[in-house]
């Protein structure tokens, strides 16, 4: 879709107002292709979402193992050990590298793994306990902690979903109104055509 948009922009760039072929033909070719593609995408998305089954336990298990929460570990190191985020980020990056090299997962990161990097590189040992590291890396806790607008906490997600549903209902009502308006216009056109034919 971005490619189609860029194609349209390229066609319309620096077109003089007295020449409309590029605007009405070349640019619109990309526009029409984009609409065809979007219809296919929406149909595929509809089938996917309607038939999708969520396995929450599997999803949570993957989130606990796949290093998606390690930035929060860096935040914990900053707050607990008083180092810069840059240093904490370097420590965590090295910890992740070591963990992957050893064929382990994020769930295996502990105090010893952090100190293995922090001590030789930055000359300190973390004050984080194994329990605090587990807390830092807990995806459910991290999601629930983001309570700001647009965040991932349950209450905020529920608020966003309510808002989306209200907007969707308003859009559906507007589409229905416009479809009725088009149907009325078609009837009026047919009636006017019949009148003209009768008078001819």
pLDDT tens over the chain, length 200 residues: 888 888 888 877 777 766 666 677 777 778 888 889 999 999 999 999 999 999 999 999 999 999 999 999 999 999 999 999 999 999 999 999 999 999 999 999 999 999 999 999 999 999 999 999 999 999 999 999 999 999 999 999 999 999 999 999 999 999 999 999 999 999 999 999 999 999 87
**What does CATH list as the number for 62-145?**
1.10.40.30
Report domain extents, the chain.
Answer: 2-51, 62-145, 153-200
| Closest by CA position to 65, among listed 29, 109, 2, 27 | 109
CB-count exposure of residue 126 (10 Å: 0-12, 13-18, 19+): buried
pTM here is 0.66
* Residue 36: partners with Cβ closer than 8 Å, 6 or more residues away: none
């Amino acid at each position: 879709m971005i490619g189609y948009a860029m194609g349209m922009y390229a066609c319309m760039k620096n077109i003089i107002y007295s020449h409309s072929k590029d605007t009405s033909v070349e640019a619109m070719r990309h526009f029409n292709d984009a609409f065809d593609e979007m219809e296919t995408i929406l149909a595929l998305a509809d089938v996917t979402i309607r038939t999708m089954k969520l396995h929450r336990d599997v999803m949570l298990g993957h989130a606990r193992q796949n290093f998606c929460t390690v930035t929060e570990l860096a935040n914990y190191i900053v707050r607990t050990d008083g180092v810069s985020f840059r240093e904490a980020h370097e420590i965590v990056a090295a910890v992740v590298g070591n963990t992957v090299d050893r064929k382990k997962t994020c769930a295996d990161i502990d105090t010893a793994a952090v100190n293995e990097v922090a001590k030789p590189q930055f000359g300190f040992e973390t004050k984080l306990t194994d329990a605090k590291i587990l807390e830092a890396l807990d995806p459910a806790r991290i999601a629930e902690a983001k309570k700001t607008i647009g965040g991932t906490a349950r209450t905020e997600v529920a608020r966003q979903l309510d808002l989306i549903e209200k907007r969707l209902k308003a859009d559906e009502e507007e589409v229905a109104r416009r479809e009725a308006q088009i149907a009325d216009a078609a009837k009026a056109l047919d009636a006017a055509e019949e009148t003209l034919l009768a008078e001819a």
